[in-house]
Structure 1
Amino acid sequence: MEADKGLSRLHRHEMEMMLALNSLEQATGRKMAGEVIFPHTGRDGVRHGRMAFEKMQRLLAPVEQMCAGSEEFRDICDQFGKHKRALGETWREKLAIDAQARALWRPLEDELLRLVNAVSSREVQRSLKNTESLSEAADYIVWSIFLFTLGVLAFLLVLLLLLRRDLLRPLVRIAGNLSRLRDGMRPEPIPAVRITELQEVVDIVPDIGGYLGSLRERSCRLEEEKDAYARMSLTDSLTGIPNRRALDMRLADLAELRQAASLIMLDVDLFKIYNDTLGHQEGDSCLRRVAQAMRDGLRGGDHELFRYGGEEFAVVLDGVSPEHALQVAERLRQTVEQLGIPHPGSPAGHVTLSLGVAAVEVLTPETLPRLLEAADSALYSAKEHGRNRAHLAGELVKKSACLAAGDRL
């Protein structure tokens, strides 16, 4: 029970630490500790063991250093420190509980082995004494002692067989089952024994196995729940597409690969007026329809759609030319326009998009901020020139023919 409670507390504090790290990353705009999901199996092969604990401490060291020299994020850093201390204390409690569990196994196994050795030694000594006493009396009554000796030997043989069947063999099997349980294996069935006290020990072994199995199942379920929460932290709850944090991770991964990449920044035109006029529920429905249409309109595994925040979205294109990226942006603009979602505050009368496109030949951690800035500037340029258009960084893209004729925006 203590091990189960300790493990539950440990997982809860791990989730709180993940949330604290998410808040810190969103506030600073930096990636603090690499993979947020801590590995719990160290080089010693023990889940939540001491080496895994030390590895977790090393992962969080850069975050502590950043917090130590920052006053701007003091409140968030204080929360981070509070959760880290709670996680450390819970982890140490878990290590202590595991150590107690291992300590409880050793005396039981040693006692069983000692009992087996003691019983075997006493029976052998008793046999030798009986044999010696019979040998001394053999000089006086040869035939009687001979027959008596045969009887005694037969009796001892039967006794040893009974002891082996009812005592030694069950003890050996119990010790073997305890070893199997310790290694995470199922216990083997043990036939009923005639010694009541020993039968009670035999009956307890399956209960121990069932408890350990239940404990392992609970641990697996907690791990699955933790993985599900981790996936949820990368998904936008409204639209079901990857969120801003997933975008940052994707761009960071591409920067490490050092290859060509393009970025499309886009948002829904005059969306505040849409929300104020029709209400937030209609606004949420509009965003879901726009996101679904854009996701369906993107083709190929190298085009990824993210929700940047509010009515803003972003598309990452891996290894494509600026012209190709511009074509994708125009296709997205047309896709949303063709939805024909009524917009009472738009000159076009329906929901439209403005898009900014930027590209780099080699994306690196150094050029990543400039790529984001260029795409954002292109987006604002598209808005300044009338909205409902795609704009390549440094170049104004002509509107589609249907819009250019009337120049309605």
Structure 2
Amino acid sequence: MNSNHYGVAGVCRSAWTIRARRLTHQLLGKIRDRERARLVRRIRDLEAENSRLTQLAFTDDLTGAYNRRHFDDQFRHDSALRARRHSLAFCLFDIDHFKAYNDSYGHGAGDDALRLIARVVMSQLRQDQDLLFRMGGDEFCVLLFMDSAAMALRIIDRVRHKVRELGLPHPHGRDGVLTVSFGVVWHDRHSAVMAPHRQLYLDADRVLYEAKRSGRDQIKLMAI
């Protein structure tokens, strides 16, 4: 066999080797691309699940409002900073004669009322700006970051009217329907010191009590 045959065979082997290597690299590239895509999908799934669990951890199961834990976290990490840029209306509210409502219609009806009221409040708030928390029982807190107390009071009074318009019958309510009362503490952004959130809560609770004592279904305001 002459040397040309071996030369041709060698060239063929080299060509096949190069082609095999190229195919191997292409195959490995496709495998890496698939693995990378699978990894990206997995990371996205984990991030979505983590976001869902975080939302559950901070959300009240019954009403969909934020819970007390998230309320505390907001003041630890965020609200004090935001209040330097905006004035804060710290609003507590609860259902008037709620125990009597539960006694008359049952706790299931009471839960339905809480859900409806939370839905009404959230429909009147500015998304991604104002915050609604269920503090426990029938007590809720709203944080409104606004430029004036008058603007905040307009929103709160609109909520009060919307709750009345639900027309939920209540034998002990004003005009025979379920109503809510509000205690609002207004903290101006130009104030030198941001009051601790526990103090804001106590002040708002005291003003809410004044609204109850004055006949319910109304708003009382304290400016600090």
State the TM-score, normalizing by the size of structure 1: 0.47
- Picking from 369, 378, 382, the partner of 2:198 is 369
Aligned match of 2:120: 293
Q: Within 5 A, what are the aligned runs for 1:240-279?
A: 240-251=64-75, 252-257=77-82, 258-259=84-85, 260-279=87-106
Distance 1:298 1:227, change over 3 A: closer
Cα distance in 2 for residues equivalent to 1:213 and 1:340: 54
Aligned match of 2:178: 351
Aligned match of 1:225: 49
Structure showing the higher strand proportion among its residues? 2
Distance 1:321 1:344, change over 3 A: same
Cα distance in 1 for residues equivalent to 2:130 and 2:38: 44
Aligned match of 2:137: 310
Deviation at 1:213, TM superposition (A): 5.2
Aligned match of 1:282: 109
Q: Which runs of 5+ in 1 are unaligned?
A: 1-147, 187-208, 395-409
Whichever residue aligns with residue 238 of structure 1, its letter is: L
Deviation at 1:366, TM superposition (A): 5.0
Cα distance in 2 for residues equivalent to 1:172 and 1:294: 64
Q: Deviations over 1:336-364 (max 9, x none)?
A: 12222111343542111111010112376
Cα distance in 2 for residues equivalent to 1:376 and 1:256: 23
State the TM-score, normalizing by the size of structure 2: 0.79
Contact kept, 8 Å, 1:307 with 1:313, in 2: the verdict is yes
Deviation at 1:215, TM superposition (A): 5.5
Cα distance in 2 for residues equivalent to 1:328 and 1:223: 35
Deviation at 1:216, TM superposition (A): 5.0
Contact kept, 8 Å, 1:290 with 1:336, in 2: the verdict is yes
- Picking from 129, 138, 155, the partner of 2:5 is 155
Distance 1:244 1:181, change over 3 A: farther
Describe the SS at the equivalent of 1:359.
Answer: strand
Aligned match of 2:24: 174
Which structure is higher in RCO with an 8 Å CA cutoff and minimum separation 6?
Answer: 2
Aligned match of 1:239: 63
Describe the SS at the equivalent of 2:147.
Answer: coil
Distance 1:282 1:332, change over 3 A: same
Cα distance in 1 for residues equivalent to 2:11 and 2:90: 82
Distance 1:349 1:366, change over 3 A: closer
Cα distance in 2 for residues equivalent to 1:174 and 1:233: 48
Cα distance in 2 for residues equivalent to 1:322 and 1:370: 19
Distance 1:343 1:256, change over 3 A: same
Describe the SS at the equivalent of 2:143.
Answer: strand
Aligned match of 1:336: 163
Contact kept, 8 Å, 1:358 with 1:393, in 2: the verdict is yes
Aligned match of 2:208: 379
Q: Within 5 A, what are the aligned runs for 1:91-130?
A: none
Deviation at 1:249, TM superposition (A): 4.2
Describe the SS at the equivalent of 1:284.
Answer: helix
Distance 1:360 1:219, change over 3 A: closer
Cα distance in 2 for residues equivalent to 1:170 and 1:240: 60
Contact kept, 8 Å, 1:265 with 1:379, in 2: the verdict is yes
Structure showing the higher helix proportion among its residues? 1
Q: Which runs of 5+ in 2 are unaligned?
A: none
Cα distance in 2 for residues equivalent to 1:176 and 1:365: 63
Whichever residue aligns with residue 185 of structure 1, its letter is: D
Distance 1:389 1:349, change over 3 A: same
Q: Deviations over 1:189-225 (max 9, x none)?
A: xxxxxxxxxxxxxxxxxxxx5xx75455444323322
Whichever residue aligns with residue 224 of structure 1, its letter is: A
Contact kept, 8 Å, 1:247 with 1:306, in 2: the verdict is yes
Contact kept, 8 Å, 2:168 with 2:178, in 1: the verdict is yes
Describe the SS at the equivalent of 2:62.
Answer: coil
1:185 aligns with 2:12: no
Deviation at 1:278, TM superposition (A): 1.2
Deviation at 1:373, TM superposition (A): 2.3
